Amino acid sequence: MRAFKIGLYLSAVLLLQTVILPRFNFLGVVPDLVLVTVVFYAVLLERTPATLLSALAGFLQDILACPFYLNTIIKTITGAAANTFRERFMGDEYTLIAGLVALFTPLSVLAEGLTLHFIFHREFSLWYFIFRLVAETVYNLILVPLLYPLVRVTLDE
């Protein structure tokens, strides 16, 4: 039942991310619902299921909306790294999740930007890059309290 609920939630997140959220873009920036979800599960699950879910979420995001497997890599690393923080953190999980979202959102934007620039030779303005770092982090932080109860429900047996 728990696996089914997580699967259902993940499917809804992926459809929202690729179909509906792009319609709410602000100067091209949309929240990364998948990244926030990956951080949630990295904090709330053990390492193996958390890593597997992160990899699966990133892979499906790539299948749906990216011509290569950049999200698979970013989300897998985020899941594993966030899980490591969780093992060393003392305090309530909500603070940890918000902190990790604030940390990993700019890092993932940075990783995406650097990969696209240096490997795929894409150009973009530095100001837009900085704007996206800030805007996407704010967007994702807004999502944390909205998603928290939903993710908690998916983890109930």
- Name 88's Cβ contacts closer than 8 Å, sequence gap at least 6: none
68 token code pair: 């290569």
The rounded distance, in Å, linking the Cα atoms of 48 and 119 is: 30
Minimum CB distance to another protein, residue 1 (Å): 21
Q: How far is the CB of 141 from another protein (least distance, A)?
A: 17
Q: How far is the CB of 7 from another protein (least distance, A)?
A: 13
Compute the least distance from the CB of residue 79 to another protein, in Å. 7
Residue numbers of the site for another protein (CB under 8 A)? 11, 15, 17-23, 25, 27-30, 32, 47-48, 51-52, 55, 59-61, 63-70, 72-73, 76-77, 79-80, 84, 86-94, 96, 112-113, 116, 120-125, 128, 132
Task: Tell me whether residue 1 or residue 87 sits nearer to another protein (CB atom).
Answer: 87
Q: Determine the Cα–Cα distance for residues 94 and 43; give it in Å rounded to an integer.
A: 9
Distance CA 26, CA 9 (A): 25
Nearer to another protein, 84 or 134 (CB): 84
Residue 106 CA to residue 52 CA, distance in Å, equals: 22
Residue-level length of the chain = 157
* CB closer to another protein out of 16 and 103: 16
